[in-house]
Structure 1
Amino acid sequence: RVDAEDVDAFASALHRPPHDLAPLLGMEFTGRVRAVPEGRIVLAGEPLLEVTAPLPQAQLVETYVLNQVSHQTTIASKAARCVLAAQGHPVVDFSLRRTHGPQAGYQAARLSAVVGFAGTSNVAAAAAEGLPAVGTMAHSYIEAFGTEEAAFRGFARAHPGPVTLLVDTYDTEAGVRVAARVLRDLDRGPGSAVRLDSGDLGALALRARALLDAAGLPDVRIVASGGLDEYSVDELVRSGAPIDVYAVGTRVGVSADAPFLDSAYKMVEYDGRPVMKLSSAKVTAPGQKQVFRRPGYADVIGLRDEQPPDDSLPLLETAMRDGRRTVQRPDLPEMAGRFAADLAGLPPAARRIRNPVAPRAATSGRLTAFTAGVRRRIQDEFLAAAVSPLIHERRPSGSQRSAPGRGGK
């Protein structure tokens, strides 16, 4: 809702007198929203969300809607690929220190849980969303003690239950030996872990596993972290590295190799009149739409009111009406279950980490014909508007008109 304080702030930012923005006073969102439920997998080109509202309301929400949908879809997609790469090994979120602000870090923790992460180091997000809080210890903690062993023993005594000891502050192999001695002496082996955070993680994991097994600690797990993403996780898993848990941070929290989603918020109808853009590389299809999901992701994008194809499920659902939410916000387990079901049905070629082949949605015959008709109408209107001033110009006496088909178009 826009109140007087908002109007004054807008006017100040725009260097306009407040009365110019007085029509905004009291405005609140009264529109309808249809959207794909959170947790569902969508394909490129498919509409994620549709807003139907008076134009000023629809325009005012544009930037915020794009920001929230684009960022969270990007991060969720990156995290989902890490889950695929891990092939059943637990993955946890370590991204907060490097995300672009605390809100982005919170979203990364929440979204990673939706796509199957086992926990997060973001304690605030864990408390708010009911997620497992996970973590280890800081290098600075170890450095504050006289010896690595004193640090491990102090940490283990202060924490009931299993602990994870960071072993690469000084020398990784020596750190594993010290950790094994402390865990064995304190009888804290089952459920505990050592964490590798640098170096050749595959080779170090092999050596750490051998040292732990030789110390009679086969139940102590190995956690790997340090610049991991789906590509490095995929390589480690394929190599057979004895790593039990993958902690991913920076590259996932900022989606380092794909840091944005090329999304758009475009008008498709105004006052009952279908509209579309025709500019190069930015053509949009007109009209209200629906995505019909068919088995095997043979999706069809069609008009909202057309007959659904056989064996199809509509993805866009009404989420708001008259400016008010019409469905309860789903909880994380519900969204996670929805995602897991969608992921299980994704074609194998699309699940590959390297060189994936994504399914592409088809366009229904009705939408194709409708789009072509709207395009012709716009082009005819544009041509008429462009040519009209020319044919009404006064011509000098004796001028010749071009013959039809000879440059007179």
Structure 2
Amino acid sequence: MPKRGGPASAPADTTDAAISARTDSYFNRTKAIVARFGDARVTYAVFLRRPVVSAPRLMLDWLRAVAAARGTEIKIEVMHEEGHWVGAGDPLLYITGSFVALSDLETILLQKLGAACVAAHNAYQMCLELPQVAFLAMEARHCAGAEMQEMMAYAASVGSRAAQREGAKGFIGNANDATAHWFGQSSGYGTMPHALIGYAGTTVRAAEMFHETFPDQALTVLVDFFGREVTDGVAVARRFPELAAAGRLAVRLDTHGGRFLEGLDPAESYAVLERHAPGAIRRYRSETELRHLVGTGVSAAAVWKMREALDQAGFPKVRIVASSGFGVGKCRVMAEAKAPIDVVGTGSFIPDAWNETYATADIVEYDGVPRVKVGREFLLRHGEARKKNGGHG
């Protein structure tokens, strides 16, 4: 099995010109001023304002590469190891070194830290909500370029491993080759998009084409293209009974939110849950949770309806893959409804409120003297609060 975090995790360009172009101008000017009036040895505290899971590796790789390129020594004290929970405002790490060498790095190092920590926290929570379900990372199409794609895949792997330590199955892989190494895989998982079914003309024919081309691979078939999830799902199972019996066939539910899964309406959705998880419908707390239970799209009722149909047709080993909007909240609802999901495909660990991802860095020590702006005294190291601001205040 490949080592997690292979060549694809190499840091970005570390030249002074690249850093200067991407950093905030006042940091560049600070660097020039300090270089003129005399360097200082400073310590930065780096933190987020919300609880997260520590995911600092990409930032640390970049910072160490910059230090090597500049021929300077940077001391890094990681306060919360990768995959560990961090409270709001609790410093993730302290960075100590030359003020001239560090002053222009703040913008970029914060970019590489905050979003990864929040995404790791989201992935961790999702996996814990559905501990018996395997997850597949499908974030790439929602990322703003290759750097974000790498960051989000890394974050999902960190959150997943944290959940796995608590007994969850977690993320078993992802959907593309470039970032598969974060999940201990050499390549991404995936079988067919909706486009292949449109090309084939029928769901069964698309499955046949895939199996003829990749006969040794397990088969996961999208079944919502024609709005006949149940009919087409059973038809594919009947076409491939050997795969179905061996547990190598899965149907993927990706019904969009504009309609119900085949055979469902509001009344039948309630009836399905009454048969399988009556408590869930009585405990919902919001309109969003109710929609996840009995609404349109991939609801808990839809998953149960698909499971009923497959079992009644004699295919109990055909697995169900569910996708479409599986964030922390939806995973929690599916757990309450005991929805029989085998795999969740999701990119919804990507932070929803981007302003929650903003990491912050403050200098807390200048040449050995604790000093921080008023209101940030909580960032000082233990025992330094009494000496803060150079002995004043």
Under a length normalisation based on structure 1, what TM-score does the superposition of the two structures give?
Answer: 0.63
- Structure 1 residue 215: Cα displacement: 2.7
2:318 to 220, 236, 240: 220
Matched residue, 1:33:
76
- Structure 1 residue 235: Cα displacement: 0.4
Does residue 203 of structure 2 align to residue 148 of structure 1? Answer: yes
| CA separation of 1:185 and 1:102: change in aligned 2, threshold 3 A | same
Q: Is the 8 A contact 1:2 1:28 kept in 2?
A: no
Matched residue, 1:284:
377
Q: Is the 8 A contact 2:252 2:322 kept in 1?
A: yes
Aligned residues: 289
- Structure 1 residue 197: Cα displacement: 0.6
Q: 1:310-329 counterparts in 2 under 5 A?
A: none
Does residue 363 of structure 2 align to residue 267 of structure 1? Answer: yes
Higher deviation after alignment, 96-105 or 162-171 = 96-105
| CA separation of 1:195 and 1:3: change in aligned 2, threshold 3 A | closer
- Structure 1 residue 128: Cα displacement: 6.9
Matched residue, 2:223:
167
- Structure 1 residue 269: Cα displacement: 0.8
- Structure 1 residue 286: Cα displacement: 6.2
Whole-Å Cα distance in 2 between the matches of residues 72 and 186 of structure 1? 38
Q: Is the 8 A contact 2:197 2:225 kept in 1?
A: yes
Secondary structure in 2 aligned to 1:144? helix
Secondary structure in 2 aligned to 1:33? strand
**Superposed CA offset, 1:375-398 (max 9, x none):** 69444xxxxxxxxxxxxxxxxxxx
Whole-Å Cα distance in 1 between the matches of residues 113 and 20 of structure 2? 29
Secondary structure in 1 aligned to 2:251? strand
Matched residue, 2:349:
252
Secondary structure in 1 aligned to 2:136? strand
Whole-Å Cα distance in 1 between the matches of residues 174 and 120 of structure 2? 14
Q: Is the 8 A contact 1:167 1:175 kept in 2?
A: yes
Matched residue, 1:133:
188
Matched residue, 1:112:
156
| CA separation of 1:88 and 1:127: change in aligned 2, threshold 3 A | same
- Structure 1 residue 6: Cα displacement: 6.5
1:178 to 231, 235, 249: 235
Q: Is the 8 A contact 2:133 2:342 kept in 1?
A: yes
Does residue 388 of structure 2 align to residue 374 of structure 1? Answer: yes
**Unaligned 5+ residue runs, structure 1?**
290-302, 304-366, 380-409
Q: Is the 8 A contact 1:106 1:122 kept in 2?
A: no
Does residue 307 of structure 2 align to residue 209 of structure 1? Answer: yes
- Structure 1 residue 47: Cα displacement: 1.4
Q: Aligned-residue CA RMSD in angstroms?
A: 3.3
- Structure 1 residue 164: Cα displacement: 0.5
1:197 to 248, 254, 257: 254
- Structure 1 residue 273: Cα displacement: 1.6
Whole-Å Cα distance in 1 between the matches of residues 314 and 345 of structure 2? 25
Q: In structure 1, what residue type is equivalent to 2:219?
A: V
Q: In structure 2, what residue type is equivalent to 1:97?
A: R
Whole-Å Cα distance in 2 between the matches of residues 228 and 30 of structure 1? 44
| CA separation of 1:273 and 1:260: change in aligned 2, threshold 3 A | same
| CA separation of 1:2 and 1:82: change in aligned 2, threshold 3 A | closer
Whole-Å Cα distance in 2 between the matches of residues 4 and 201 of structure 1? 51
Q: In structure 1, what residue type is equivalent to 2:158?
A: V
Under a length normalisation based on structure 2, what TM-score does the superposition of the two structures give?
Answer: 0.65
Matched residue, 2:124:
80
Whole-Å Cα distance in 2 between the matches of residues 94 and 208 of structure 1? 22
Does residue 310 of structure 2 align to residue 234 of structure 1? Answer: no
Whole-Å Cα distance in 2 between the matches of residues 137 and 220 of structure 1? 17
Q: In structure 1, what residue type is equivalent to 2:99?
A: L
Matched residue, 1:44:
88
- Structure 1 residue 226: Cα displacement: 0.6
- Structure 1 residue 169: Cα displacement: 0.6
| CA separation of 1:80 and 1:275: change in aligned 2, threshold 3 A | same
Q: Is the 8 A contact 1:266 1:284 kept in 2?
A: no
Whole-Å Cα distance in 2 between the matches of residues 238 and 156 of structure 1? 36
